[in-house]
Structure formats: C-alpha cells, structure tokens
Structure 1
Amino acid sequence: MSAVIDKPDSLLYDGADWDYDQIKRVYDAIEDIALKDMGLNVYPNQIEVITAEQMLDAYSSIGMPLMYKHWSFGKHFARDEMLYRKGYRGLAYEIVINSSPCISYIMEENTMTMQTLVIAHAAFGHNHFFKNNQLFQQWTDAEGILDYLEFAKSYIAQCEDRYGHHAVERVLDAAHALMNQGVHKYPKKRSLDLRLEQKRERERQEYQEQTFNDLWRTVPKVAIGGNRPSKSVSERKKLLGLPEENLLYFLEKKAPRLEHWQREILRIVRHMAQYFYPQKQTKLMNEGCATYTHYTILNEMHRRGMISEGAMLEFLHSHTSVVFQPEFDDQRFSGINPYALGFAMMQDIQRIAENPTDEDRYWFPDLAGRGDGMGALRDAWANFRDESFVLQYLSPHLMRKFKMFSVRDDAEDPYLLVENIHNERGYRGIRKLLARQYDLGFLEPDIQIVDVDLAGDRKLILHHRVTNGVLLDESDAKAVLRHIANLWGYEVQLVEVSALSDAILKEHAVTAPSGIGG
C-alpha cells in the first residue's frame, strides 16, 4: 500500500518542469518580498527565456543584445561552444543587462527552482544594484543603452556596406585593443545621454558636409618639419589637453588622418567601454548583493510555504556551489571567489548592525548596533565600490572565518615572509592589501598621452607610469602600439617611467604606418 503525499495549497510549483504561468506566479511572489520586505528599488523587469546556444551567443558578444558584428565574438562563441559540448564547462544560469527595462536572460533548460533563483538573483539583486549604486548613476544611461546599441549595430553595418568589411574591421580591432584605456575615470559635469547620440552623429555629419570645400585639396600643404614654427611644449600640451589618459577619446578627437565614420566607430567603442567601467569596479559588491538577495528571498519563500523542501534542497545545493571558497592549498584555488566573499560580507554587515560583539563595536562604531541591517546594506550598495567597500566593511571576524593572512613575496629574497596574521596590525594590513586587489588604478597600467607636435613630426608620445615595478610585456606593448599607430597615422613612442623617480625604465616605438585613415 503506497502512501499519498498531498501537495500544500500554498506551493507555487511542484517538480522541475515549468511553464510561463508558473514563472509569472513566482515572479510576483519574489517581487512582493523584494520590494516590501527588503525595500529594494528596481527598474522595470523584462524576462527573456533563451536556449543554451543563445546563451553562448550572448557570452560571445559580451552579454549585450543588438551588438554589432566582430570576428572576436565568433571566436569566443566557437571556443565556449566546444568546451560546453565536451562537458569541460557549464553555462551561467542567467545574464542580466543594465538597462531600463532591466533584461534578464534565463535558460529554458533550467528547472523551475533554478528559474526562481535566477529571477531573484538577476531581476531583483543585480537590478537594484544597477539602479542605485552611485557609479552606475554617474557613468551609465540605463534608459538609453538599448537604443544606442541599435544605432551602433546599424551604423557599423552601413559602414561595412559603404567602405568594406576589412576597413571597418581594422578600426574595430584597434579600438577594441584600447578599450581598457578608453574610459574617463572621473565624472564629468554633463551626464551622458545615449539616446541623443544618433542625433548628434547626424549633426556632425551634416556639419562636415556643409563646411567641406573641395578647393582645399588644391592648396599646397606645409611639409612636416617645414617653416611653420612649433609651439612650446607647455603651449601645445595646454592646447591639446595633455596629458590625456583616455586614449580612444584623444584619437577620436585629434587623430589627423581619420575619416568621420572612423571617428564615429571609435566613439561607439568608447561608449561601450565606459558603460562597462562601473561593472569592473563593483564585481565583488554586485555579485554579493545579488547572492544575498536570492538567498534571503528563497529562504523567505520557504518559510511562507511557497516552495517545497525538495526545491529548497535543490536551491541550497546550487547556492553552496556558487559561494564555495577553496583553501589556499587546494588545487582548485584561483584567488578569492567574489560570490563567496561578497555574500559573506553582506551577511556580516547585517550581523554587525543587529547583533554586534564588543570587537564589532570597536571596529565599526557607526554601524554596530544600529538595528537596521537591511538599511545598512542598502546604504553600502549605493555608496561604495569594491576597493572602498573592503576597506570600510571587512571585519576581523570575517578574516578569521576565511583564514586570511598575507605573504610578502620579494623577488630578491629567496624566502617568503608571512607578514600579516590575526592581530590588530595584521587585520588592518590584510584589509588594505585585499582592497588593493580590487583597485583598477593598481591593477591596470597607467598609460597617458603626454606630448605630440602637430606642427612638427607628429610623433605621438605616451608614458606608462610604473608604480609596482612591473613593466609591460614587450610583445603585447608592441602589438597595441601598432594599433595606436594605425589610428594615429604617424610614429608612436611609449616610454615606461618610474612613478617614484621619473627615471626611464624602458622604451617602445612603432614607426609610422600607412594609417587606417589612408
């Protein structure tokens, strides 16, 4: 005689299969908890169900819909598909787009429990972070990005039809090579409105056509290095706005041999680089926020009887895999898992706010005992980036839990030195060193355009300020310099100088090419 287990009436779903009605019921339940219980503030949501192949395609085009075509996207697709088909890697459960509406892609292969997790994680966790973090508010235009992507894809396709696939690809190759050095790192007074970019492009094109006079082609040109007097170094630097760390911006505005359409492509790639810049600075916080959000919501759904014990076990199995942190001597160790540390820090902030210890009160006098853990988290999510977040909130309690210590590795010393352990000075040292690992100013090379004599030989001079003793890889440096020279049209020189003494450590140079601009 078999026992019959009745399904509770309060369950939103039962089993692994899903349909769109169940997705809608689950979404409504998640939204109620996220907005009313957690106080989240999100963009309108758009949930898209896609196949595994479509997810691979989204991977290859850096997760963006309506992306323009480039050979590198196809290369990434072929690599990821091969690894996935052979079972060497899995796929993300979701991809989420920082836009309004916020677009979340969920795979049709997911079980209903995984769809629930993904909606809570992406459509509410990431969505809230995108909308409220001050870096995203300063640097991104969530309402205009989808229209701009459509314009960019159409514009580049038109350029390929008019100027040829190879010519457009050369510009895109060069622009992609400079994306990390193609961002403004400090906010400007004027916020970017991507919805107006298409209108501005038309205005720039019309102005160029109205002011073009074919008679100028017959005027004799002054030879480079001719009789025209060169300005002093300080004068030309002031005139050109040097030094300039945004290489794409400078080349877009000042490269003497580029055509209008080539400058517009540089502008498109530069806007894409700027769009992703806040995400590079908030990986730890963004994933920590989303992981904490899905964990809180699904636990509350289980408490209310909305999901079954089996669904909860499936969720916990996936969640614990995501936040797993291998030990330093584990073969799987590849650094600190941002999901693990981010989630642990979010839980720790709530603990300090609601149930502090004497140690917490000493280290966090303004946070400890304030009583509103969720409010403290919303404040942190809004006002910090990874580097400052770690400096502000990483606690001795969490450092002990993660068994953190630091080792000094001096290339001139045959021995390693354990420099910071679990004491007050060690806690401060560990926190400072860990925060530095999230500082893009430390992780990415500081390369700036420092001089060019437009009335002389037009040689573009760049400086790499070496702050940590690590020089650029010579082959990579030469390859990128060739891309810069193709855009600039004349010789390019890169000088690596010590940030401490200004001593010249190494020089790289690429002679004048034929130039993309012809």
Structure 2
Amino acid sequence: MTDDGRLLFTRTDWDFTTIQRIYEAVEETAARELGLDVYPNQIEVITAEQMLDAYSSAGMPLFYKHWSFGKQFAHHELVYRKGMRGLAYELVINSDPCISYIMEENTAMMQTLVIAHAAFGHNHFFKNNYLFKQWTDAEGIRDYLEFAKGYVTSCEERYGLAAVEQLLDAAHSLMNQGVHRYPRRQRLDLKAEEQREAERHAYQERLYNDLWRTVPKGQQQNVNQSEESRRALLELPEENILYFLEKTAPRLAPWQREILRIVRHIAQYFYPQSQTKVMNEGCATYCHYRIMTALHDEGRISDGVFLEFLQSHTNVVAQPMFDTPYYSGLNPYALGFAMMQDIARICDDPSDEDREWFPDIAGKGDADNVLKHVWANYRDESFVAQFLSPKLIREWRLFHIVDDADKSALEVAAIHDERGYRRVRRALSRQYDIAWQQADIQVVDVDLAGDRHLILQHEVVNGVLLAEADATQVLHNLAYLWGYNVILREVEPSTGKVLKEHVARAGSVRAA
C-alpha cells in the first residue's frame, strides 16, 4: 500500500513493485466483480520501438523474418515519429500463459487500465469463446512459432534467401484462402508439429507421387477416371487453397510444403480474431470499465486518477459521425461496449419493448452470467443479429442505405422505426459476415489427363467481382506454387453463369 491509505499509487510514475501491486488488485477485483476465467498472465514492459516491432510482425512474440515486416516497421515508425499517429498502450497475445505487453511510457493509471483491459478482458475472451477453442492452440502457439522461425532460417541457409522469400511472398498472398472455415474432427496440436515434421515429409512424398504417377504422359483424354472419381481422389472442392497446394502440388519440394503449412497454421490462428473484433474489444472495454469503477469505489484509485481514466476511456469508445473527417466506419470498441452495457441494462432494468424483443434475458437480473454466456457462444455477426436492440438503434441513429450500381441514386431502405429495426439489424450483422468480408474461392478441378491446369471458382456475393489487379497478382503467385497454369472463374451462384475468367500461365510467372 501507499502512504495514503488504500491507494495503489499516488504519482504518475511507477516501478515494478507498483505494477505488481496494481496487478494483484486488478486480479482480485476481476474475480470478485465479474468472475472472469483467464489463462495465467505474463506481463512484459516494452519500449516504443519494441511496440513498433510487435506491430510489424502481427503482434507475435516470435516470428520468422520477412521483408514485409521491415516495411511495416518503417511505415509505423515514420508516422509515429512525425506525431501523425500514436501507439497502442498495450498488446495482448492469445497464448497460455497470456502475454500482455505494456508500454514503459504509460502512466501508472494507464498501466492499471491496460492490465484490466488486456490481461483480464481479452484474456477471458480468448480462453472462453468457442471460435478460439475450436481453432487455436493457446498452449502450443509459442513453441510452434519458435519451430517455424528456426525452420525458415534453416531453409534460408540451405536453399538461399531469394528462394525462401519468393515462396513466402506467394504463400502470404493466399493467407485469406489458407484457412479451414469449418471445424475439423480434431483440433491441431501445435506443440507436436516439430516432432511430426520428418514423418510428414515422407508421407507427403508418397501421397502426391501416387497421385501423379497415374497421369497419362500425352495430351489424350482417353482416361478411365470419371470426373466424380477424380474430384474424390483430390478431395474437391477444397476451400483451403494452401492446404490443397501443400498436399498435392506436383512440383513443390518437401521444405516448400512445410513452409506452406507454417503459413496456413498462422493464418488459421488469426482466423477467429477477424470474426470477433467487436465482441473481443467490447468484452475487454466493458471489463476494464467495471474493474476501474470498482477500484475507484473502493478507494484504491483517487478521484484524479479516475478522471484521467474516464478521459482515456471516452476517447476509446468515441464514435465519430459519418460527416466528420475522422469517420472510418463503426468503432468496434464503441459498438461492442455499448451493446455490452445495453445487455446488462436489459437484464436488470428492462422496458416493455425489451421484454418483447429479448424475452429470454429481459429482467433476468443476472447480467454478468448472461454476458459471459454471450462472450463464449457468439461471434460478431450472430452477436449483432441477436442482441442489437431497438433502443440502441435509436440512440446511434442507425439507418440502412442501399447502394445499387444499376440505380442513379442511393436508397434509404430502413430507418430507426418499428418497420426498420429488424432490417437495420440484419444489414449491420451482414457487414460482419465472413462470407461478405472475404471472397469464397475454392479449388474445384484439376486437368489430370491434359496440361494439368488448376481450376478455381469464385462464388460472387452481391455482384462484387474481384479487383482485377489483385486477382492477377495472386493468381500468378498461385501458378508459381502449383507449377502449371491456373484458371479462376467468377460465377453467379444462383445461375452458375460465368461472369469473368482469369488465367495465369506458369511458364512466365514469378511470385510477386
């Protein structure tokens, strides 16, 4: 304790004893007030330069080297040094133990805030949300990253920096198409990956050799295989393009297959985070607000410190209006926090409207457990679709705009009234649908009897075709990895009509 009774600190500066005291107080409050279930915490104090470095490598504590990370570092450092952008006060890693990086430049108040936000709010969400349980191995990720870094370095030494860099460039361009979107029968154990690497190489050699040794030498199509049996042999269609290439690309060496596997495992690790931005930040913001308020009510932080906190918190949850220069869409912190508070209000003090819209939770009076159930069992799309209330729609003045390219004017399709609530909620939830965020591109066939070209299909959503320049560059990378020509057809799902076709020829391709 400090000299001033129960206060955790009385000055803005701090030392490691102060950090320990803050952590213990936040931990006790989080357990008592919210009953949070978290991984063990590892708090690390880092400099501004180290934070910039962490930005550049997706926040991971260990990562293989790649030129794009240096490019990101240079960009972030430039805008930071010019005062055009600040740095995050913290960075948290979904691992067991959960690693929270806190900036050494932070004040004592800010250290309290970010420990509550990251080490307990985010930590609880990582450990309990169903997407993270299905797709991530928090215990094994650090060991796997250490293995990946060592493996990529050994490949650079053995096969040359240029060859590895070219392979990583191609693989990185396909990371969004390098994930399984549906749960597998068994979750990947990352800790065992290094031990299985040698066995996997031998198996992969047998797998693709058995596949390709049966391919006719000439260009004749007198092959007995039916289309159905060929697709069954290749397990098509396949949405995870990196997985397909790793298993069946005829010209990749074993070390190249392993690097593709590394890239897709890392892409899979980040997959849940892209679907839970609003919920994850909303959970952490709600938790830090409750914890800081409780510390103030108990006399553990002073009025001045609490006012400093409220200023920072208000900045975090600010939502600029659409006609301001700062508007860049809905702030996930603001929307998530507002919805968490609204759910608590509905549980404790519902209106007749709330009872009509949310009969299962209205007046239940158990807000903390309801919120923990929500944090565990929803993602952004289903969360908004289920829990965005008419009251919040009115307060945020939300409305639905239809932007139809075939029409000369925008249409206001729904506003915040009795007829528009459901349409507004449905339209907003669709913005967080992974099918709308990322293109649905699948490997659908391979010409085994001919020139071995690879055929992909993009199911067009809402009439939006792929950007021509990006599609061309990524297809060139794909052709480089496959070793033969690649065809991508953009198809209208309802009619099967081909809207556009892209072709990348392997003979003139280099990964970009």
Q: TM-score range by the shorter chain?
A: over 0.9
Q: Could you state the TM-score of these two structures normalised by the residue count of structure 1?
A: 0.95
Would you say 1:140 and 2:129 are equivalent positions? no
Please give the secondary structure, in 2, of the residue aligned with 1:360.
helix
Q: Structure 1's 405 and 457: CA in aligned 2 closer, same or farther, altered over 3 A?
A: same
2:189 maps to amino acid: D
1:424 Cα deviation (Å)?
2.4
Which residue of 2 is the match for residue 427 of structure 1? Answer: 421
Structure-1 separation of matches of 2:330 and 2:490: 31
Select which of 301, 320, 325 maps to 1:326.
320
Which residue of 2 is the match for residue 240 of structure 1? Answer: 234
1:373 maps to amino acid: A
Would you say 1:260 and 2:229 are equivalent positions? no
Cα RMSD after superposing both structures = 2.1
Structure-2 separation of matches of 1:123 and 1:288: 14
Which residue of 1 is the match for residue 363 of structure 2? Answer: 369
Q: Structure 1's 149 and 516: CA in aligned 2 closer, same or farther, altered over 3 A?
A: farther
Structure-2 separation of matches of 1:33 and 1:87: 36
Would you say 1:348 and 2:339 are equivalent positions? no
Q: Deviations over 1:317-370 (max 9, x none)?
A: 111001000112222111110000000000000000011111100000001011
Select which of 475, 482, 496 maps to 1:502.
496
Q: Point out the more displaced range, 283-292 or 328-337.
A: 328-337
Would you say 1:12 and 2:4 are equivalent positions? no
Please give the secondary structure, in 2, of the residue aligned with 1:275.
helix
1:23 maps to amino acid: I
Structure-2 separation of matches of 1:74 and 1:212: 36
Which residue of 2 is the match for residue 203 of structure 1? Answer: 199
Q: Quick check: 2:152–2:259 contact (8 Å CA) kept in 1?
A: yes
Q: Deviations over 1:97-123 (max 9, x none)?
A: 000000000000011100000000000
Q: Deviations over 1:139-185 (max 9, x none)?
A: 00000000000000000000000000000011101110000000000
Please give the secondary structure, in 1, of the residue aligned with 2:506.
coil
Select which of 250, 255, 259 maps to 2:244.
250
Which residue of 1 is the match for residue 95 of structure 2? Answer: 99
Structure-1 separation of matches of 2:474 and 2:140: 31
Select which of 10, 22, 27 maps to 2:23.
27
Select which of 415, 431, 435 maps to 1:437.
431
Gap runs ≥5 in structure 1:
1-5
1:376 maps to amino acid: V
Select which of 452, 458, 467 maps to 2:446.
452
Structure-1 separation of matches of 2:351 and 2:224: 68
1:516 Cα deviation (Å)?
8.1
Which residue of 2 is the match for residue 3 of structure 1? Answer: none
Q: Quick check: 1:171–1:516 contact (8 Å CA) kept in 2?
A: no
1:423 Cα deviation (Å)?
2.0
Would you say 1:399 and 2:393 are equivalent positions? yes
1:207 Cα deviation (Å)?
6.0
Q: Structure 1's 231 and 206: CA in aligned 2 closer, same or farther, altered over 3 A?
A: closer
1:501 maps to amino acid: T
Please give the secondary structure, in 1, of the residue aligned with 2:180.
coil
Write the mapping of 1:279-298 to structure 2, written as runs, cut at 5 A. Answer: 279-298=273-292
Which residue of 2 is the match for residue 390 of structure 1? Answer: 384
Which residue of 1 is the match for residue 112 of structure 2? Answer: 116
1:211 Cα deviation (Å)?
12
Q: Structure 1's 420 and 202: CA in aligned 2 closer, same or farther, altered over 3 A?
A: same
Structure-1 separation of matches of 2:25 and 2:259: 44
Select which of 68, 71, 85 maps to 2:81.
85
Structure-2 separation of matches of 1:205 and 1:347: 52
Which residue of 2 is the match for residue 190 of structure 1? Answer: 186
Would you say 1:488 and 2:476 are equivalent positions? no
Gap runs ≥5 in structure 2:
none
Select which of 455, 460, 476 maps to 1:461.
455
Structure-1 separation of matches of 2:387 and 2:272: 20
Q: Deviations over 1:433-478 (max 9, x none)?
A: 0000000111211111111022321100111111211111111101
Would you say 1:60 and 2:60 are equivalent positions? no
Q: Name the % identity.
A: 64
Please give the secondary structure, in 2, of the residue aligned with 1:425.
coil
Figure out how many residues of one structure are paired with residues of the other and give that number: 508
Structure-2 separation of matches of 1:87 and 1:516: 39
1:291 Cα deviation (Å)?
0.3
Would you say 1:158 and 2:154 are equivalent positions? yes
Q: Could you state the TM-score of these two structures normalised by the residue count of structure 2?
A: 0.96
Structure-2 separation of matches of 1:252 and 1:229: 26
Which residue of 2 is the match for residue 313 of structure 1? Answer: 307
Structure-1 separation of matches of 2:227 and 2:40: 52
Structure-2 separation of matches of 1:438 and 1:353: 25
Q: Quick check: 1:121–1:293 contact (8 Å CA) kept in 2?
A: yes
Structure-2 separation of matches of 1:209 and 1:183: 23
Q: Point out the more displaced range, 410-419 or 170-179.
A: 410-419
Please give the secondary structure, in 1, of the residue aligned with 2:420.
helix
